[in-house]
Structure 1
Amino acid sequence: MSTSHMQTNRQLLQLIKLRNGFIALQLLVVLLAEFWFEYSLSYISLKLIIAAELVINLGLFYYYKGNRNAQSIEFLLQVSLDILTLTLLLYFANGATNPFVSLLLLPVAIAAVTLPKPWLLFVTFMALAAYSTLLFTLDHHQMHVIDMQQHFIGMWLTFVLSALVVVLIVASLAQAMRQQERLVSQLREEQLRQEQLVALGTTAAQFAHQMATPLATANLLTEELELEYSSTLLTQLKEQLGLCSKRLQDFRVMSEELKQNSKRQIPLGQLFSQIQQEIQLNFSDVKVRYQLDSNEQLAVYSDTTLFPALLNLVQNAVQASKQNNSQQIEVSSQIENQQLTLTIRDFGIGLSEQTLLDLGSTVVKSEQGFGMGVLLSHATLGRLGAQFRLYNHSEVGAVVEVIMKLVKLS
């Protein structure tokens, strides 16, 4: 639920505490009217209403004192309670002739800040109905004999205009402030994520630089051992060291392209072929079901960081399947409306709801291999303008979708 529809109980508790002060003020006004000004009012009814309001408010205070979230409907009930109690107090205190009748605007103002627009309109109509009821239930003697009919109707029109001002201006300002707060929150989260990615990138660059010398030494030692001993194991070791050297070289090329911000068209056939080759090379023990819809006339406009990001997702899918004693994954694609949807499905145990929310935005500890790889892939795909979706399959496992725009190959 979005923040515009969910408020913390701290805000609601603050409203309840303010109502306690307002109840004390109501009691003070009633006592002054009874003993100081000696007005002729129904004081028993007024005191009973104030007592009932105090009991209800104390009950609400203890109810919301715990650590829980309050939804917008609960704010609606609060302001509706205020309108009801104010209307009852005013009814037993000369109705619309009471100068405190303008206090009915307070619940409207509170609703403008805390409630969505449809419920704000409901509260506004409720306050207008309350004022209208107080006006039309006035004694005819008060309306005609004292000749105050035009004055009371003018007060009612002023209240209507004031309520419209609150709805149109205060509600708009409150909505703009909420949007600004959401934007600031999003920018803060994005900044924290970018700082985390910069730290990861710096660490990776330092690690790659430090690995260059020992890797070159290992290659030389392997070549010398091959001269003295002929072994299949040495040959396999040399192949793996060569693969590490190639990865290190690819990392350097990638770094240079990132510095120059150079992008190029990558034909779909080339992209799919490279994915299949790398999967066969790195995960030869895994059964992969391909459903790749290639088009020789289309390409993705990207740089060299795209393929490592996709390979990270494939690796995570393989690890998730193996955690569930499965040796298979699915890689499929769909082309529609000049968009490529690349889908990678694993056959693992699936992901919890909280993990689905956190993956891609922060590093998540997981036995399935998710976390840092997904974070880096998500950041890379976002930088390239691709969309990233992650959800659980209806049968078993999790599904990653990468949606990229396609261009005609030139």
Structure 2
Amino acid sequence: MKGNTPLRARWLPSQWSADAAGRKNMALLVQLRWIAIAGQVATILIVHYGMDIRLPFPSMLVVPCIAAAMNLGSMMILRRRTDISHAELFLALLFDVLALTTQLYLSGGATNPFISLYLVQVALGAVLLHRWSVWGIVAISSLCAAMLSLVYRPLDLSEAFEGRLFDLHIIGTWICLTMIAVLLVLFMTRITRNLQQREAYLARLRQQAAEEEHIVRMGLLASGAAHELGTPLAQLAVVLGDWRHMPEITGHPALVEEVGEMETAIKRCKAILSGILMSAGEARGEAPQITNVRDFVDAIARDWRSANPGMPLRCDFGPHDYPRIVADPVIRQAVTNLLDNAREAGATYIDMLVSRDNRWLHIAVRDNGPGFSEEMLADVGKPYRSSKGKQGGGLGLFLVVNVVRKLGGRVNASNSVEGGAMILLRLPLATLALEEGKHDV
């Protein structure tokens, strides 16, 4: 236990938000609002002082100040959170509509050529919001525009502008349309890119779900094999144990030796069955153990050397201090799969390199075999992609990638400079380490 959290709960993968694009889009709305604030202040100053058109100067400056406060609050929220909901995007656009309405009310209402800026909010809503929300922005913008044709504060124009109002309106309309075109091009392209990244993320999730479904099917087959083979193997083990104590057997050394060989074969079958079950996501009742990283890796290497005599396997831990960890059997099986793959690929020696930094525990398996082809490096982690040319091969690395990914880690495959292949497992210490205070190097 860690606090009140069960050990098994700590193996749950990190939750990645599918709506991360919402945060990026809110950041773009914040940038757009800063541009609007700067444009409003500049326009107010130019019209009031440069063109000598008397505006309600203090009242009109209140709106940019409120918008600036809104932006500062939004930036604080963006720093603390990884996603933004659809409702928050809708409220942000609604605020911009109401802020624009207030400014237009104070500066001539519907006679103000900048009333076309409503189209920017509608266009942004069409890209960012759901259907009902978009129509909500359309309805509110239309209602505000209609209200501004009836209720507004007229401009206080001097006699110098008599006869020139139409020309001023045409110039203002041209400036407004230019602003709309520039803003839409700048921000629509960036918003579209954010949405494309979100679609790519969802596509990866769908691919991951398909791979996990494949693992579930393999788990069902492995469970069936456990029920079918577990009981007969247990019965054979009991019978052989009885034979070992029978006088008819103990009096014949050759029979004793044969019984011992049969018991060894049954233990080997049980070990193979356990490996199949752990690869499929089951551990035959084995719970995660609390141990040291060095002891955990040394135990894996010792067991593998016993099963593969004559194959050199060297472990290098580097000059690091390692925390105590919760060692789930699936990690042991993942590393064992990598060692088996290296041996089957034709390696004559294998190195297991262990290191760490502030966030990750690194376990690398390096061999002197033929290495990966370019096609294999591009398809690492996909089922039935194997360099050994065997039918049904490639599942070992596929299972390793999925096990590590479920723990919140990563798997990288490469070819060593000296030749041979190297698989690097990056496991998060936040998930593995028993004591958070020992994460620092």
Q: TM-score range by the shorter chain?
A: 0.5 to 0.7
Q: Does the 8 Å CA contact 1:269/1:296 hold for their aligned counterparts?
A: no
- 1:358 corresponds to: 379
Distance 1:333 1:196 in 2: 31
Which residue identity does 1:254 align to in structure 2? A
Distance 2:181 2:409 in 1: 46
Q: Does the 8 Å CA contact 2:326/2:434 hold for their aligned counterparts?
A: no
Higher relative contact order (CA 8 A, sep 6+): 2
Which residue identity does 1:163 align to in structure 2? A
Q: How many residues align?
A: 257
- What is the CA-CA distance between 1:249 and the residue it aligns to? 6.2
User: In structure 1, the residue corresponding to 2:290 is in which secondary structure?
Assistant: strand
- Which of 191, 200, 207 is equivalent to 1:189? 207
- Which of 301, 325, 330 is equivalent to 1:305? 330
- Which of 199, 204, 207 is equivalent to 2:222? 204
- What is the CA-CA distance between 1:204 and the residue it aligns to? 1.2
1:336 aligns with 2:357: yes
Q: In the TM superposition, what are the counterparts of 1:2-401 in structure 2 within 5 Å?
A: 157-219=175-237, 227=249, 229-230=254-255, 232=257, 234-246=259-271, 248=273, 251=277, 254-256=283-285, 263-293=288-318, 298-320=323-345, 322=346, 326-337=347-358, 339-367=360-388, 371-401=394-424
Q: Does the 8 Å CA contact 1:268/1:296 hold for their aligned counterparts?
A: no
Distance 1:310 1:275 in 2: 8
- What is the CA-CA distance between 1:213 and the residue it aligns to? 3.1
Distance 2:200 2:364 in 1: 31
Alpha-carbon spacing, 1:368–1:403, altered in 2? closer, same or farther (3 Å): farther
- What is the CA-CA distance between 1:271 and the residue it aligns to? 0.6
- What is the CA-CA distance between 1:376 and the residue it aligns to? 1.0
| 1:94-129 residue CA offsets vs partner (Å, 9 max, x unmatched) | xxxxxxxxxxxxxxx9xxx9xxxxxxxxxxxxxxxx
Distance 2:321 2:434 in 1: 9
Distance 1:301 1:219 in 2: 32
Gaps of 5+ in 1: 1-108, 114-147
Which residue identity does 1:189 align to in structure 2? Q
Distance 2:416 2:204 in 1: 29
User: In structure 1, the residue corresponding to 2:337 is in which secondary structure?
Assistant: helix
User: In structure 2, the residue corresponding to 1:354 is in which secondary structure?
Assistant: helix
Distance 1:184 1:355 in 2: 24
* Identity, % of aligned positions: 23
Gaps of 5+ in 2: 1-122, 128-165
User: In structure 1, the residue corresponding to 2:255 is in which secondary structure?
Assistant: coil
Distance 2:292 2:409 in 1: 16
Which residue identity does 2:205 align to in structure 1? L
User: In structure 2, the residue corresponding to 1:388 is in which secondary structure?
Assistant: strand
